[in-house]
C-alpha cells in the first residue's frame, strides 16, 4: 500500500505542483502574455500614485478604481498598509485577467522604524550594519503589503547645495559601491518566504546638476560619468537588484528617460535583466526639456530606449496604442517590457497569491518591534561624527543640572528628517526626552532660544540665563527636516536664522557646551567651528535619535563615524571634494605665486572626506604592503592606546601617478571599521582588488597598471603612511 502511495505522490509532484512551480517564469509569462489585449499590455506599463499620498505633481485625478478594474494600471505607489494594499489588489482581481498589481513605496531610510538618513549611514562606513538596517526596513515594508521599494539611492554627490545629498552615499564611488551591495542584499533578502524588489536610483548623474539646483542640467565628460557616477549602479546590478529608476536630468543634452547610451550600458554591458521605471512624470518632462517634440514622441523615445514603466506621466497610456497603429513602434517592444514585468510579479509569487504580502497579523508583529528599534539605535550611534573635542570635554560624566538649548532640542519630527513614509506620526526620541529618561533626578531645563529660521531673538535672554545656571549645556542646532531632500537645494549652507549667533552667546557664558548639529547635508558653521568646545554632527538620526546622542555624549559609545562628504569653509569653494585632480598648478599656501589658490578665501575645506575623531586613540605599527597579480595586501598592527574602547576606520587610498588620463590625487580603495578594547592590539589585513583600480580612459576601460602611491590615512588628508607601488 505504502509503495502505491509513494508512486502516486511522485507522479503528482512531477506532473502538477512541482512541474508547475519549476516551469520557468518566462514560460509562465509567455502564456499570460498571449492572453493579453494591447490595452491590457499597455496597462502593465503604467504606474500611478494612490490618492493617499503624492511625491510629485499630480497630472491626472481620474477614477483609479475603474482604471484598476479595467487593467489600465499595472503598479501603484504610495499605497501603504496591509489593509489598503489588500483592498486595491482586490480591485485588480476584478480585472479580466486578474493580473496583480505591484505596490511601490519610497522606503528610503525605514518604513515605520525610521533609521538615520542614508548620508548618515554612509558616515558609519559600516556596511554590515547598513545591510541589517535594509533588512529591517524591508521586513516592515513587507508586512505592510509593499513589495517594491524605491531604494537605494546611489547618486554620488560633490555638491552639498543639492538637497538630495541626504538620501545618498556621499562623495566617493568606492564607498557608494560598498553601500549599494549591502543595501541591495539587505532589501532583497527573503523574509517569511517573501522578498522585495529594490530599485537603484536615479540613473544617472542626477547629482551633477549645475549649481546644485535640483533637476538642473548635467553636462559631464564620459570619463566622469563612467568613473564617478556609474560604478554604484553597476555594483547594484552585480548584487542582483530587481529594478532601476531613471533620473529627471539630461546628460549632455539627452534626458535619462530616453538616453539610449545609458540603457545600452545597463542592458548590454552590465546584462541587467530587471525592469526600469521612470521617475515621477519624467517621460512627459522630456517635452519641457526640449528633447521631445510632444508627449507622443516622448513615449516612443522612452520605451524604445528601455524604460519599461511610465510613472505618472500618462504618456504610455495616452500614446502607445496610437504609435502601434501608425507603425511607429512594433508591438514586440511592448511585449518585451510587459514580459519582464510579468516575470517580476511571478517571481514575487503574486500570481499564486496576490494577497501574500498583505498580512495584518505580521504588520502588527514586525513593525516598530524592540528588535527593530535596537537596530535603529545601533545605526544611529554609528552615524554620529565627533568633529571637535577640546580638552576632552567629552564624554561627559554624570551631571546634576543640564540645559538643553536650541530649536532642535525637542523636535521629534525633525529627528526623522525627510523622505519619511509615515511622517504624520513622528515618534522619534528627542534629545530632551532622552536626557530626562537618563537622568530622572537631575535638573533638566529646555529653552529653544530661537526658531530654526527667522530673526526673532526674544528668547535669547532666557537661553543665556539657562546656560549660566547649568553644569553643562547641550546646544541642538541645524536644519529643519524639510530643508534637505527633493527640490530642497540651498544657495547658502550656513545654519539658518540666528542659530550661530545664539551659539556665540551661549559659549560666552558656559564653556561646558556640547554643540550638536543636525541636518541633511554638509553645512557651513565657521564661528561654531572656532568657538565651540565640542561638536557632534548628528545628521537626522531617526526614531532613536535622542538615545543615540546621549549614548555618545556620556560615553556608552565612542564615536566611530567619519565624514562621507567634504564640508566646505565657504560657499565659493563649492564644488569641493577630496577625489579631485591635481591640475598643473595645484593650490599651495605660497602667496604671490601662480597657483590654483583663491585670492580672497581659503581653498582648504573646513573638514575633509573621512574626517572624524574618537574619544580614544590608535597607533599604527609594522605596516607592510605587498601585491600580486590580483590584489594589494596591507597588514599592520593596530593598537588602541587611549582610555576608551573604540573603533578606528582604517582607510586606504591610492593615486595613479600618470596614465592615459589624469587620476584623482587620492581615491578610497579600501576601508574597514576595527573595534578594539582600550590598550589592546590586533594584526589587521586589508586587501585592495586590482580590479577596483580599473578606470575608464580616453574611450575604453583600462586595467590597473603603472606607478601608484598607496596612502594609509586617518582621513583623506591626514596620511600616516605612504609607499610607491609598481603594478
Give the DSSP letter of residue 322.
H
Q: Give how many residues touch ligand GLC by CB under 6 A.
A: 9
CB-nearer residue toward ligand GLC: 153 or 650: 153
Examine residue 71 and tell whether it contacts ligand GLC (CB under 6 A).
Answer: no
CB-nearer residue toward ligand GLC: 422 or 690: 422
Examine residue 77 and tell whether it contacts ligand GLC (CB under 6 A).
Answer: yes
CB-nearer residue toward ligand GLC: 262 or 632: 262
**Min dist. Cβ of residue 54 to ligand GLC (A):** 8
CB-nearer residue toward ligand GLC: 77 or 183: 77
Answer left, alpha or beta for residue 578, where phi above 0 means left and psi between -120 and 50 means alpha. alpha
Examine residue 627 and tell whether it contacts ligand GLC (CB under 6 A).
Answer: no
Residue from 231, 312, 318 nearest 277 by CA: 312
DSSP, residue by residue, 656-706: E-S-SS---S-EEEEEEEEEE-TT-EEEEEEEEEGGGG-EE-SSSEE-S-S
Range 576-605, binding ligand GLC (CB under 6 A): none
Examine residue 171 and tell whether it contacts ligand GLC (CB under 6 A).
Answer: no
Residue from 257, 277, 157 nearest 206 by CA: 157
Out of 140, 486, 558, 648, point to the residue binding ligand GLC (CB under 6 A): 486
**Could you give the C-alpha distances from 237 to 131, 271, 416, 520, in angstroms and in order?**
16, 8, 29, 27
Give the separation between CA 709 and CA 656, rounded to whole angstroms.
7
* Residues in CB range of 46: below 8 A, 6 or more apart: 72, 73, 74, 75, 309, 310, 314, 316, 317
Out of 56, 406, 559, 670, point to the residue binding ligand GLC (CB under 6 A): 56
Give the separation between CA 510 and CA 468, rounded to whole angstroms.
6
Out of 187, 229, 280, 537, point to the residue binding ligand GLC (CB under 6 A): 280
**Min dist. Cβ of residue 512 to ligand GLC (A):** 42
CB-nearer residue toward ligand GLC: 280 or 611: 280
CB-nearer residue toward ligand GLC: 55 or 70: 55
Catalytic residue flag (residue 214): no
Examine residue 255 and tell whether it contacts ligand GLC (CB under 6 A).
Answer: no
Residue from 240, 241, 137, 197 nearest 347 by CA: 197
Residues in the chain: 727
CB-nearer residue toward ligand GLC: 118 or 231: 118
Examine residue 80 and tell whether it contacts ligand GLC (CB under 6 A).
Answer: no
**Min dist. Cβ of residue 53 to ligand GLC (A):** 9
**Min dist. Cβ of residue 382 to ligand GLC (A):** 25
Out of 159, 279, 479, 692, point to the residue binding ligand GLC (CB under 6 A): 279
Give the separation between CA 498 and CA 119, rounded to whole angstroms.
26
**Min dist. Cβ of residue 245 to ligand GLC (A):** 6
Examine residue 55 and tell whether it contacts ligand GLC (CB under 6 A).
Answer: yes
**Min dist. Cβ of residue 486 to ligand GLC (A):** 5
CB-nearer residue toward ligand GLC: 165 or 514: 165
Examine residue 148 and tell whether it contacts ligand GLC (CB under 6 A).
Answer: no
Examine residue 285 and tell whether it contacts ligand GLC (CB under 6 A).
Answer: no
Cis-peptide, bond into residue 296, ω within 30° of zero = no
Examine residue 558 and tell whether it contacts ligand GLC (CB under 6 A).
Answer: no
Give the separation between CA 27 and CA 108, rounded to whole angstroms.
34
Out of 103, 148, 150, 481, point to the residue binding ligand GLC (CB under 6 A): 150
Instruction: Indicate the SS3 state at residue 172.
Output: coil
Give the separation between CA 376 and CA 416, rounded to whole angstroms.
11
Examine residue 48 and tell whether it contacts ligand GLC (CB under 6 A).
Answer: no
**Min dist. Cβ of residue 258 to ligand GLC (A):** 17
Site mask, ligand GLC, residues 182-201, x = CB under 6 A?
-------------------x
Q: Residue 562, Cα to own-chain centre: how many angstroms?
A: 16
**Min dist. Cβ of residue 69 to ligand GLC (A):** 24
Given the residues 126, 159, 279, 308, select the one marked as catalytic.
Answer: 279
**Min dist. Cβ of residue 724 to ligand GLC (A):** 43
Instruction: Indicate the SS3 state at residue 306.
Output: coil
* Residues in CB range of 560: below 8 A, 6 or more apart: 124, 126, 382, 612, 614, 646, 647, 648, 649, 673, 675
CB-nearer residue toward ligand GLC: 152 or 605: 152
Residue from 75, 120, 99, 65 nearest 276 by CA: 75
CB atoms within 10 A of CB 37: 11
**Enzyme catalytic residues:** 279
Q: Footprint of ligand GLC on this chain (CB under 6 A)?
A: 55-56, 77, 106, 150, 201, 279-280, 486
Amino acid at each position: 500500500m505504502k509503495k502505491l502511495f509513494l508512486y502516486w505522490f511522485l507522479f503528482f509532484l512531477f506532473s502538477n505542483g512541482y512541474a508547475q512551480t519549476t516551469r520557468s517564469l518566462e514560460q509562465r509569462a509567455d502564456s499570460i502574455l498571449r492572453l493579453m489585449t494591447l490595452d491590457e499590455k499597455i496597462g502593465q506599463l503604467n504606474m500611478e500614485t494612490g490618492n493617499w499620498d503624492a511625491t510629485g505633481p499630480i497630472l491626472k485625478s481620474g477614477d483609479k478604481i475603474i482604471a484598476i478594474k479595467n487593467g489600465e494600471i499595472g503598479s501603484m505607489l504610495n499605497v501603504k498598509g496591509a489593509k489598503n494594499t489588500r483592498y486595491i489588489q482586490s480591485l485588480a482581481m476584478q480585472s479580466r485577467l486578474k493580473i496583480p498589481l505591484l505596490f511601490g513605496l519610497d522606503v528610503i531610510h525605514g518604513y515605520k522604524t525610521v533609521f538615520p538618513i542614508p548620508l548618515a549611514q554612509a558616515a558609519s562606513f559600516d556596511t554590515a550594519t547598513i545591510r541589517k538596517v535594509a533588512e529591517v526596513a524591508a521586513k516592515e515594508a513587507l508586512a505592510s503589503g509593499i513589495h517594491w521599494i524605491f531604494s537605494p539611492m546611489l547618486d554620488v554627490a560633490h555638491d552639498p547645495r543639492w538637497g538630495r545629498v541626504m538620501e545618498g552615499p556621499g562623495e566617493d564611488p568606492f564607498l557608494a559601491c560598498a553601500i549599494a551591495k549591502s543595501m541591495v542584499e539587505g532589501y532583497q533578502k527573503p523574509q517569511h518566504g517573501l522578498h522585495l524588489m529594490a530599485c537603484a536610483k536615479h540613473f544617472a548623474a542626477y547629482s551633477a546638476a549645475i549649481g546644485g539646483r535640483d533637476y538642473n542640467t548635467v553636462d559631464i565628460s564620459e570619463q566622469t560619468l563612467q568613473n564617478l557616477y556609474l560604478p554604484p549602479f553597476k555594483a547594484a546590478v552585480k548584487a542582483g537588484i530587481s529594478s532601476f529608476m531613471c533620473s529627471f536630468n539630461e546628460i549632455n543634452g539627452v534626458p535619462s528617460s530616453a538616453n539610449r547610451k545609458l540603457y545600452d550600458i545597463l542592458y548590454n554591458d552590465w546584462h541587467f535583466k530587471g525592469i526600469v521605471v521612470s521617475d515621477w512624470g519624467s517621460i512627459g518632462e522630456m517635452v519641457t526639456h526640449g528633447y521631445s517634440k510632444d508627449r507622443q514622441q516622448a513615449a516612443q523615445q522612452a520605451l524604445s530606449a528601455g524604460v519599461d514603466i511610465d510613472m505618472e506621466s500618462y504618456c504610455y497610456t495616452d500614446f502607445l496604442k496610437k504609435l502601434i497603429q501608425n507603425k511607429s513602434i512594433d508591438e514586440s517592444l511592448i511585449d518585451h517590457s510587459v514580459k519582464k514585468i510579468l516575470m517580476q510579479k511571478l517571481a514575487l509569487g503574486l500570481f499564486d497569491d496576490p494577497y501574500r504580502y498583505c498580512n495584518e497579523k505580521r504588520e502588527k508583529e514586525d513593525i516598530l518591534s524592540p528588535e527593530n528599534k535596537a537596530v535603529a539605535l545601533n545605526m544611529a550611534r554609528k552615524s554620529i561624527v565627533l568633529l571637535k573635542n577640546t580638552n576632552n570635554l567629552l564624554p561627559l560624566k554624570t551631571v546634576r543640572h543640564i540645559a538643553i538649548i536650541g530649536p532642535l532640542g525637542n523636535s521629534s519630527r525633525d529627528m526623522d528628517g525627510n523622505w519619511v513614509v509615515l511622517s504624520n506620526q513622528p515618534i522619534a526620541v528627542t534629545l530632551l526626552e532622552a536626557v530626562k529618561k537618563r537622568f530622572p533626578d537631575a535638573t533638566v531645563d529646555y529653552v529653544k532660544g530661537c526658531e530654526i529660521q527667522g530673526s526673532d531673538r526674544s528668547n535669547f535672554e532666557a537661553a543665556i540665563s539657562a546656560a549660566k545656571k547649568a553644569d553643562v549645556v547641550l546646544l541642538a542646532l541645524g536644519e529643519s527636516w524639510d530643508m534637505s531632500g527633493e527640490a530642497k537645494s540651498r544657495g547658502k549652507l550656513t545654519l539658518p536664522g540666528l542659530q550661530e549667533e545664539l551659539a556665540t552667546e551661549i559659549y560666552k557664558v558656559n564653556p561646558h557646551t556640547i554643540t550638536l548639529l543636525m541636518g541633511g547635508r554638509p553645512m557651513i558653521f565657521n564661528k561654531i567651528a572656532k568657538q565651540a568646545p565640542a561638536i557632534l554632527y548628528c545628521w537626522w538620526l531617526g526614531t532613536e535619535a535622542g538615545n543615540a546622542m546621549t549614548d555618545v555624549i556620556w560615553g556608552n559609545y565612542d564615536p566611530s563615524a567619519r565624514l562621507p562628504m567634504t564640508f566646505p569653509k565657504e560657499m565659493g569653494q563649492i564644488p569641493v571634494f577630496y577625489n579631485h585632480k591635481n591640475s598643473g598648478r595645484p593650490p599651495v599656501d605660497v602667496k604671490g605665486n601662480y597657483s590654483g589658490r583663491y585670492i580672497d578665501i581659503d581653498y582648504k575645506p573646513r573638514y575633509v572626506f573621512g574626517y572624524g575623531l574618537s574619544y580614544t586613540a590608535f597607533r599604527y605599527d609594522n605596516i607592510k604592503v605587498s601585491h600580486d597579480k590580483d590584489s594589494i595586501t596591507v597588514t599592520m598592527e593596530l593598537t588602541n592606546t587611549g582610555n576608551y574602547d573604540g573603533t578606528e576606520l582604517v582607510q586606504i587610498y591610492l593615486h595613479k601617478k600618470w596614465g592615459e588620463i589624469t587620476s584623482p590625487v587620492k581615491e578610497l580603495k579600501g576601508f574597514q571599521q576595527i573595534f578594539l578594547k582600550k590598550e589592546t592590539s590586533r594584526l589587521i589585513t586589508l586587501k585592495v582588488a586590482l580590479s577596483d583600480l580599473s578606470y575608464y580612459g580616453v574611450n575604453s576601460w583600462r586595467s590597473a597598471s603603472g606607478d601608484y602611491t598607496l596612502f594609509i590615512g586617518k582621513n583623506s588628508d591626514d596620511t600616516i603612511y605612504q609607499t610607491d607601488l609598481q603594478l
